[in-house]
A and B are shown apart, each in its own frame.
Chain A
Amino acid sequence: MSEIQSNKELLDKETGKMGMWIFLFTEMFLFGGLFLVYAVFRTKYSADFHTAASELNTFIGTLNTVFLLTSSMTVAMSLTAIQKNSPKLAFFLVFATLLLAALFMVNKYIEWSHKFEFGIFPGSPVLKNMGRGELLFFGLYYMMTGLHALHVLVGMVLLSVNLVKIKLGRVNPRHYLLLENSALYWHLVDLIWIFLFPLLYLIT
């Protein structure tokens, strides 16, 4: 009986993971639409895109890339930790992931407010006087990094739920589907950033 039970659990787990993977496809297509728009405008106004991209702070961008990549590692480690039956370590690692995510957001805040100080924000007069391609570049910049930041926030909420559930023992060595799916989601957030970073910061 118990064997059948665990077999069913395994099936449920596979089912849940499959659902998550398909959901991640849809997320990729959601960003895909933006990448498509980026590709079109980049081809049309490549000179303007170069000029505009040089306004972005590559140092902050690189720092944020490091934060996100490291956080992807910690969340993957937390999954291994829970599978190897050390919930305390898993708790710590998820917490570290959250901390890195928070640092990412703080950085983003500094970066954006810096831009705002220079009057570079959607609809601003400074922006309207720039070239057409630069205008589009900054529009895409705000939309893409903004939507990405929104995903970071959603990921942080998911990870916080995991923290509580690890503490309560609801996420444990036998049931860790939630943590696994949250980690998958977090990797997606990371993956999208991996594309955003060179496309927006490094094309100068």
Chain B
Amino acid sequence: MSDSENGTYINYLQHKGKYGGILSWLLSTDHKKIGLMYLYAVIVFFFVAAILGLLMRIELIAPGQTIMGPQTYNGMFTIHGIIMIFIIVIPALPAIFGNFFLPILIGARDVAFPRLNLFSFYLYITGAVLGVLSQFAGNGPPDTGWTFYVPYSAQSSTNVIFALTAAFILGFSSILTGLNFIVTIHRLRAPGMTWFKMPLFPWALYATAWIQVLATPIIGITLLMVIAERVLNIGFFDPSLGGDPVLFQHLFWIYSHPAVYIMILPAMGIVTEIFPTFSQKPVFGYGAIVFSSIAIAFIGSFVWGHHMFTSGMSYWARWFFSFATFVVAVPSAIKVFNWLSTMYGGSIDLKPPLLFAISFIFLFMIGGFSGLTLGSLATNIQVHATSFVVAHFHYIIFGGMGFAFFAGIHYWFPKMFGKMYNIKVANIAWGLIFGGFNVFYFPQFIIGIQGMPRRYFDYLPQFTTGEVISSIGSFILVAGLFLMLFNLIRASRTGAVAPSNPWKGVTLEWQIPSPPPHENFDTIPEIKTKPYFFGNNIKQE
């Protein structure tokens, strides 16, 4: 029975700030409420983009035009990409779980700049709305793909400016969130919590935040230059104005490749919290996980050229970028070994969060190995711009970040809402999502190797089998997503009251009641041991 129900304290959901009603949410600077607002926004946009994806799968269920023409299809994959990348995958984990749990995990009452935090949220909403609006306003949905490659994006008559501006604003929001987290981690750790007594999700967020702060301005200025090119005729990238299109690709990927690590590092951080709890065992190789996060953030900043092997680069540049790509796989693999070793010999409790976390490893490894196929110079040319890339990308981003997101929401749901969801339904939803995902994306690898190009609304008859299987998988996947959403929404309304520590976790968030009180802690805890100390006789490293 939670204390909140007994009325012994006021939790953050009941807390009334200066304002009443809806304003107590919209103007709240409480990191937990802001985290939840991000959560709701992300869910809405996620289902918009997922439906767009489903429509594309229906189009591809048979050769020839099925339900939409080529121009509509171009708009669909562009907006699907823009929403998924800029509105969901990049911001979601730091903005939702980072906001909600970072201060709690390090024993703070809030982030360093609560008002700036709220401001980032409104920037995010502005950018997100603008992004969706670009579908409807002006001369039709942008059709450049989410990568905005020049010269086409400088010439396309569609609504590219809206989309560029949206991405710029979202980038600014991302920078401010990262800035806030860096300062929070530096200044607000509880007494006694030295850097190496900090849990690993904050560490992952810390590495992520530095990428957000240092790489995002580059995409900001690049988008501004494309806007200037379109509006003011200032030549940078468009050859007709004297510019160099390959330069755009460099600048774009200088940000957008590290952005992949903005997506995946927090995801790794979340599953790193989950494995010890559900194995009831300290995390294996704390230091290795910390340093691999930093190594990924660092090396990941020097691999952008592997997106451009076919764009025209010198031999040595291609050699370097390919080499660096293989090197960045090493710290990622270190993490996989650590997670597996954490489970080894542990008392494993196969609850939904762990199911999602284990499938994260499985999918992330398939994605990672196919990434090496793409990173090696010879094979890259064979599979460049085929659906092999689509499959690789979705295995990493959806299978990685997406599954970590589902793992996180199932892990922390009882803490966030003080309610417990139906475990059985959650397991079924997991089965549908995991099964559907593989049926959906695995055939894409095969037809990709056979030569199916990406971003085509039509295909040759020999790809029919693969595309049909893929489309069937997409239906299963979306059904699973809706079942999961239904289960969670029902739980937040009528779920059983959750105890404050349902999974027997040992990090700080499980030491406070569910839902957490307004300022998290009555007295700021003093930290004496390393995190993930389960009090059993397994030796702490």
Which of these, B213, B241, B247, contacts A22 with CB under 8 Å?
Answer: B213
What bracket does the count of chain A residues touching chain B fall in? 20 to 34
- Within B184-241, the residues touching A (CB, 8 Å) are 186-188, 213-218, 220-222, 224-225, 228, 232-236, 241
Q: List 18 A-B contacts (CB under 8 A).
A: A22-B179, A22-B182, A22-B183, A23-B179, A25-B213, A26-B179, A26-B213, A33-B217, A33-B218, A33-B221, A33-B222, A33-B251, A40-B247, A41-B244, A122-B234, A136-B236, A143-B228, A143-B236
Shortest CB-to-CB span from B185 to chain A, Å, is 11
What bracket does the count of chain B residues touching chain A fall in? 20 to 34
Q: Told that A22-B183, A32-B218, A140-B236 touch, could you supply 15 new A-B pairs with CB distance under 8 A?
A: A11-B187, A19-B183, A25-B213, A29-B214, A30-B217, A30-B220, A33-B218, A33-B220, A33-B251, A37-B225, A37-B247, A135-B242, A139-B235, A139-B243, A143-B236
- Leading 4 A-B pairs by shortest Cβ distance: A123-B233, A33-B221, A29-B217, A30-B217
Q: Which residues of B contact A29 (CB under 8 A)?
A: 214-215, 217-218
Contact A37 B113, beta carbon cutoff 8 Å: no
Q: Which residues of B contact A147 (CB under 8 A)?
A: 224
Which among A14, A23, A143 has the greatest number of chain B C-beta atoms within 10 A?
A: A143
Which of these, B116, B220, B241, contacts A135 with CB under 8 Å?
Answer: B241
Is A142's beta carbon under 8 Å from chain B? yes
Is A15's beta carbon under 8 Å from chain B? yes
Is B83's beta carbon under 8 Å from chain A? no
Is B296's beta carbon under 8 Å from chain A? no
Q: Which residues of A contact B235 (CB under 8 A)?
A: 122, 135-136, 139
Contact B217 A142, beta carbon cutoff 8 Å: no
Known pairs A37-B251, A40-B247, A139-B235; A19 contacts B217 (CB<8 A): no
Is B175's beta carbon under 8 Å from chain A? yes
Contact A15 B187, beta carbon cutoff 8 Å: yes
Which of these, B187, B220, B222, B241, contacts A139 with CB under 8 Å?
Answer: B241
* Assembled-state Cα–Cα distance A34/B217 (Å): 11
Contact B179 A19, beta carbon cutoff 8 Å: yes
Q: Which residues of A contact B242 (CB under 8 A)?
A: 132-133, 135-136, 139
Which among B175, B187, B215, B234 has the greatest number of chain A C-beta atoms within 10 A?
A: B234
Interface readout for A39-54 with B: 1 if CB under 8 Å, 0 if not? 0110000000000000
Is A92's beta carbon under 8 Å from chain B? no
Q: Which residues of B contact A136 (CB under 8 A)?
A: 235-236, 242-243
Interface readout for A120-140 with B: 1 if CB under 8 Å, 0 if not? 001100000000110110011
